[in-house]
Structure 1
């Protein structure tokens, strides 16, 4: 073997040893976060998506976040564990995983979409490269018309708590969905008492590190489901919401004060071509493999 080839081969092996993300496949690792009522490893949902990605991108490392010590805890925590605590737990997992040191892509489903955005804003190391939000409620929700697990008493109980007082301290601290409940009729109450969403959306003050960290993304992809029966309003999946003071007429991200004042840097990101708005026919999180491969897979390669 010529000396130059031998040198290059040795260098490649050295780099692969130093960076576990290198190897036979140099596709960035993928981190996924499930939605409400789901778990990291459900074979009919997140487990199936993990398998699908691994088939489409041979050799890729896929981490499906488990918040808790067991799958049962992971599911339960999606309803009852403070979101800020969940995000901290996720950040700790990512920081301790040597396979992510070189950076990773992220894909969040439903509430997992906004939770991963919080990870991007709060935890820049290891670096998130592309964030794909699949039906994430980035401006929150004002209603829970159909939550996963409809046969369970949990959904009825959650609705009762949200309707009776989403911004009570006890409800905020112990009900995940209350932490992204956004009441357009009581914006001051929301800004004052929302423990999670009002913070990550810069509603009380502008945290420059949040803005800087989010802008470091190469792409921020948002998927909206056009027949969504779970998210109210569905515009939240593209960062839109109800116009302040009423719960009927919506406005787009570009029409919002958040965008016009550029509190998160989204206007600058759109100008730089970093924001991607995708639409999918169908209900919440309902998509075909063909749609996934055509629309989302290119952002993971």
Structure 2
């Protein structure tokens, strides 16, 4: 009798779920700098979200022939010649997305993703975006700039430098980082660096706002910061999101400041204090519609433990998965008895044997 009752207790929630479930929209994952879709962390992250939400997940990356991104061989500056020499030592085609995420201008990356989502038949009725670090800026550019693209319903951002960052993301000591260091010596807002180092497009030095607004090629446009260049369409498109989930990592040492994940940042002209998002001019004057979204209850400010992108499985389930399900469209789904018995047996076995899932970080504490 007890075993029958136990089985019934396990079956009831499954039967209830079987009567009606929500149709899930597809989603895309946009990885961070120096990463690639084939890497274990990103691949596992995408797979788990797809399984847990019962939605179709796709990790997208940007690639281009390296020949198109090489500096001019007519450059005379010694440091530019060093960059040319180092770049020329690599294969002409880097298909993983790792290299391009560093050296391809962000607008070009966004244009590639825009074209990809327009070509994907399964996204035609709408889709969700999950952004990782720098990938969030690409995702927002797709929302704001992509003419004729399918509608984006929910945007889930993990560790995104939305208001900029006062330091280039950590790199390391490899050959890529030698090239990055060489580029940085050319001045971050120079035309050359802006054209050959992706993070320069969102590096925002609060004590050098004049050069930032004048010469930074990407973030000022994305955030509608240029007074004479504000575009109402960008605001209209961004504020049309159903939900904007902004996840900040409490021990983030990559983004400076970490509050940029919530659109918080330093005031113009100083590195102190860090302004909460609601106290920034971007929010108060509603340049991109963040205030509009927030006042409508469609912005979720989430803080999780861990370093940059070090999200746990538990936090993934709690803060990401609910927004990968289209709760506005329900359909009836009847499971077969064999499916129910199989799932119930699996659940009972795990409970009996104590086979609980590890809640360690899926992506790890990354520097991208």
1:1-301 equivalences under 5 Å are 26-42=23-39, 44-58=40-54, 60-68=55-63, 72-123=95-146, 125-144=149-168, 146-147=170-171, 150-159=172-181, 161-162=183-184, 164-204=186-226, 205-301=229-325
Q: Is the partner of 2:269 in helix, strand or coil?
A: coil
Indicate the SS of the match to 1:186.
Answer: helix
Give me the TM-score of the superposition, normalised by structure 1: 0.86
Shift of 1:254: 0.8
Q: Distance in 2 between matches of 1:80 and 1:216?
A: 31
Largest Rg, 1 or 2? 2
Give secondary structure in 1 for the equivalent of 2:206: coil
Q: Which segments of 5 or more consecutive residues in structure 1 lack a partner in the other structure?
A: 1-23
Deviates more, 1:60-69 or 1:170-179: 60-69
Number of aligned positions between the proteins: 274
Q: Which runs of 5+ in 2 are unaligned?
A: 1-20, 65-92, 326-368
Contact 1:145–1:229 (CA<8 Å) still a contact in 2?
no
Which of structures 1 and 2 has the larger relative contact order (alpha carbons within 8 angstroms, sep 6+)? 2
SS in 2 for 1:282: coil
Secondary structure class of the residue paired with 2:28: strand
**Structure 1 contact 30–104 (Cα < 8 Å) conserved:** yes
SS of match in other structure, 2:193: helix
What SS does the aligned partner of 1:106 have?
Answer: strand
Distance in 1 (alpha carbons) for counterparts of 2:195 and 2:289: 28
How far residue 25 of structure 1 moved from its aligned partner, in angstroms, is 7.7
